[in-house]
């Protein structure tokens, strides 16, 4: 067994025993961390493996949150239906956005995705009848696992649902990046011109992975809405997209597991700082500037480098 | 007719402000290959410092002269203390670094000035409306049109007709070659970054009497400026001007005819242009 398999197995065991180890509020914090971890991981699919830096990824998280909130509140369907709806809506909206955005590369791509995300944010903010405007949608219930099935209201039950979704998404994503399709993505990242000159068109590949990342982000958003009990325009705001990028960089770009850890570290830093000062954004910004300058590989990248050396 | 002229002037005034911001954004990209996410915050800083200067001196005009150099020096300091170290990295790192800087600056302004918007009085000479052959139009907006035209012409002349402008264009075209030929590339980068921030600061001061100085004005302007440079093409001053006019027009007529969907129109225009020119009107493929 390789070292990464051992670590993966240990992490899985740790996830399973957590509800019996942690106190109630710690478990709910961990659930939160896992949801944001899934969001950061989905961003890493396009950013780390295809070299496309999206500055509007929060939009898909938000779309997932809104779809999930509406399905749960207005139609009282089981949570998995809401998760499907969230992932689906995010994917469907990502299709035209991706079609436009993948025409451009590099910094143009980043700016286009930001512009579209701000557009979606404005829609969520203005379309009061559906989204509740700036108030958002509150009182989203944690319904059942299936029709007539067990409820998900207890923290443990919802934690397991979230953990299962995250593990499943991670396994799926690892399979994707290891597949021939994933190899093609990495080839595009390394040298898009070469890829084109070998007779392949990179755009369909980029579009598919863009939509796939949006689907995972939508899933994270769809988990977020019932967990926190609300969906609001803030989760679609550019700040959140930028924070997603931070999580990826902190954890280690192009590692999938790294961004999940990065999200956890990021949220914990924020929690700690915000308990000391209400102006935590200054310090978050400063921590981030330092990480960008001094730890370009992030946590996982740096650990691997140290491991390879030792 | 009068209505058409009024809308046209509105579009020009908006385009003028957008140009002051996007020209610097585009210039910085041309020289440093960095998309400066913090650029909007320097614009916001200009507006707030403008408010302070007006409050201290009781006059508007000093703000227009004093604030841009302050913002410019701050920008140059920021560049030489952070960005300078990571030019060799992939562009994402520079974008993220400026994102961190934007957070620091924005929150610092909130700490210093508090959450409420700060109104700035336009100078006495520019208050009220001017009579343009039967059409009454706010004097201050006319001033914005003139100011941006003057600044635009000055920037263009500087880049095209001076030795410093020549060096800047050389660095933009091929920084390694310019370095070999004796240009001090590091200094050019710092000065251009500072100058771009000064332009953004000038835009902020000029905008404050019209929009007030408020938190969040930085991001709203940077998103518009991104659309401008995407349409016009990064690194091109002419592109910034064309993009500003297109976005100014789209927003003005959009807000007039279809107020609920004005934003959508701007993006629709951008999308239509990108289908035909993915690198913008004046941009070159990377």
Instruction: Tell me the chain B residues in contact with residue A115 when contact means C-beta distances shorter than 8 Å.
Output: 223, 226-227, 230, 267, 270
Tally the domains of chain B: 1
Average pLDDT of chain A is 88
Give the pLDDT band of residue A216 (cuts 50, 70, 90).
very high
Nearest CA in chain B to A126: B260
B107 touches chain A (CB under 8 A): yes
User: Mean per-residue pLDDT for A155-180?
Assistant: 93
> How far does A107 lie from chain B, in Å, by closest CA?
7
CB-count burial class (<10 Å; 0-12, 13-18, 19+) for B62: middle
Nearest Cα of chain A lies from the Cα of B53 at a distance, in angstroms, of 25
More confident: A262 or B255: A262
Q: Specify if B38 maps to a domain.
A: yes
What string of DSSP letters covers B50-118?
HHHHHHHHS-SHHHHHHHHHHHHHHHHHHHHHTGGGGTTS-HHHHHHHHHHHHHHHHHHHHHHH-SS-B
pLDDT digits (tens, 9 = 90+) for A73-86: 888 888 889 999 99
Which of B223, B229, B259 best tests the A interface by mutation, with the highest count of A CBs <10 A?
B223
pLDDT, position A292: 86
ipTM exceeding the 0.90 mark: no
Beta bridge partners of A98: none
pLDDT-based confidence at A1, cuts 50/70/90?
low
Q: Is residue B225 part of a domain?
A: no
Residues, chain B, total?
A: 286
The pLDDT value given to residue B102: 92
Average confidence (pLDDT) over A283-297: 85
**Beta-carbon separation of A111 and B226 below 8 A:** yes
CA angle B43, B28, B113 (to 5 degrees): 20
Q: Does residue A46 surpass a pLDDT of 80?
A: yes
Chunked in runs of 10, what are the mean pLDDT values of chain B (286 residues)?
A: 84 93 91 88 96 92 94 96 87 86 92 91 86 85 92 92 92 87 90 95 94 89 88 87 93 81 76 78 75
Farthest-apart Cα atoms in chain A, separation: 59
Residues in chain B with CB shorter than 8 Å from the CB of A122 are: 263
pLDDT at A309 over 80: no
Q: What is the pLDDT of residue B79?
A: 94
Distance between CA atoms of B259 and A138, rounded to whole angstroms?
Answer: 28
- Residue B191 is assigned to a structural domain of this protein: yes
Task: Please give the average per-residue pLDDT across A144-157, as a whole number.
Answer: 80
* pLDDT of amino acid B286: 59
| A56 to chain B: closest CA residue | B223
Domain hosting residue B143, numbered range: 2-215
Over residues A188-208, mean pLDDT: 91
Which of B21, B98, B103, B216 has the highest number of chain A CBs within 10 A, making it the mutation to test binding with A?
Answer: B103
With bands split at pLDDT 50, 70 and 90, how would you rate the model's confidence at A262?
Answer: very high
Is B279 contained in some domain?
A: no
Q: Which of A25-34, A210-219, B81-90 has the highest mean pLDDT?
A: A210-219
In angstroms, rounded to a whole number, what is the distance separating the alpha carbons of residues B227 and B249? Answer: 13
> Does the residue B269 lie in any domain?
no
Average pLDDT over residues A260-285: 87
Whether B265 maps to a domain, the answer reads no
Q: Average pLDDT for residues A112-140, to the nearest whole number?
A: 85
Q: Which of the four pLDDT bands, split at 50, 70 and 90, describes residue A264?
A: very high
Q: Answer whether residue B46 is part of any domain.
A: yes
Closest CA to A136 of A151, A125, A146, A152: A125
SS3 A228: helix
Size of interface A-B (CB pairs under 8 A): 110
Q: Is residue B270 part of a domain?
A: no
Whole-angstrom distance, CA of residue A61 vs CA of residue A233:
11
* Of the partner residues A111, A242, A285, the one whose CB lies closest to the CB of residue B230: A111
Residues in B touching A266 (Cβ below 8 Å): none
Looking at the complex, report in whole angstroms how far the Cα of residue A119 sits from the nearest Cα belonging to chain B: 7
Whether residue A310 is predicted with pLDDT greater than 60 in this model: the reply is no
């Amino acid at each position: 067994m390789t070292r990464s398999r051992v670590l993966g197995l240990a992490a899985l065991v740790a996830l399973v025993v957590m509800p019996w180890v942690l106190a109630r509020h710690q478990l709910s914090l961990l659930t939160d961390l896992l949801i944001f971890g899934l969001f950061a991981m989905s961003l890493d699919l396009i950013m780390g493996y295809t070299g496309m830096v999206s500055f509007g990824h929060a939009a898909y998280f938000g779309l997932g949150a809104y779809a999930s909130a509406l399905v749960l509140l207005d139609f009282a369907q089981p949570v998995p239906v809401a998760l499907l709806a969230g992932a689906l809506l995010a994917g469907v909206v990502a299709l035209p956005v991706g079609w436009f955005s993948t025409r451009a590369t590099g910094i143009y791509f980043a700016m286009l995705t930001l512009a579209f995300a701000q557009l979606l944010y404005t829609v969520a903010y203005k379309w009061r009848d559906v989204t509740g405007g700036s108030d958002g949608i509150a009182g989203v219930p944690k319904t059942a696992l299936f029709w007539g099935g067990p409820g998900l209201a207890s923290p443990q039950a919802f934690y397991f649902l979230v953990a299962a979704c995250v593990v499943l998404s991670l396994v799926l994503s690892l399979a994707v990046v290891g597949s021939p399709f994933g190899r093609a993505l990495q080839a595009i990242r390394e040298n898009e011109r070469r890829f084109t000159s070998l007779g392949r068109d990179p755009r369909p590949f980029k579009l598919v992975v863009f939509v796939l990342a949006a689907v995972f982000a939508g899933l994270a958003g769809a988990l977020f809405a019932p967990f926190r009990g609300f969906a609001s325009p803030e989760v679609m705001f550019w700040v959140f997209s930028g924070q997603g990028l931070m999580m990826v960089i902190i954890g280690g770009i192009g590692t999938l597991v790294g961004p999940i850890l990065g999200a956890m570290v990021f949220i914990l830093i924020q929690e700690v700082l915000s308990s000391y000062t209400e102006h935590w954004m200054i310090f978050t910004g400063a921590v981030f500037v330092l990480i960008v300058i001094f730890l370009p590989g992030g946590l996982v990248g740096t650990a691997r480098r140290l491991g390879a050396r030792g | 007719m009068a209505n058409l002229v009024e809308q046209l002037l509105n579009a020009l005034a908006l385009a003028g402000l957008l140009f002051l911001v996007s020209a610097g954004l585009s210039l910085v990209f041309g020289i440093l290959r960095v998309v400066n996410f913090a650029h909007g915050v320097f614009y916001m800083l200009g507006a707030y410092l403008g408010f302070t200067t007006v409050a201290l001196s009781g006059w508007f005009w000093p703000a227009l002269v004093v604030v841009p150099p302050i913002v410019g020096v701050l920008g140059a300091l920021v560049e030489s203390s952070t960005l300078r170290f990571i030019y060799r990295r992939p562009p994402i790192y520079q974008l993220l670094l400026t994102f961190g800087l934007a957070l620091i600056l924005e929150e610092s302004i909130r700490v210093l000035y508090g959450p409420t918007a700060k109104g700035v009085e336009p100078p006495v000479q520019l208050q009220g409306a001017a009579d343009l052959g039967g059409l009454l139009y706010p004097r201050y907006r006319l001033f914005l049109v003139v100011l941006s035209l003057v600044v635009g012409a000055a920037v263009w002349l500087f880049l095209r007709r001076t030795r410093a402008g020549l060096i800047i264009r050389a660095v933009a075209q091929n920084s390694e070659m310019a370095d070999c030929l004796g240009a001090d590339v590091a200094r050019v980068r710092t000065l251009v970054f500072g100058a771009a921030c000064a332009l953004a600061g000038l835009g902020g001061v000029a905008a404050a009497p019209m929009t007030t100085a408020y938190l969040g004005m930085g991001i709203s302007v940077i998103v518009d400026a991104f659309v401008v440079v995407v349409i016009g093409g990064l690194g091109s001053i002419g592109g910034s001007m064309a993009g500003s006019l297109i976005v100014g027009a789209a927003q003005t007529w959009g807000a007039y005819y279809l107020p609920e969907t004005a934003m959508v129109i701007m993006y629709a225009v951008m999308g239509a242009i990108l289908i035909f020119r993915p690198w913008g009107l004046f941009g070159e493929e990377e």
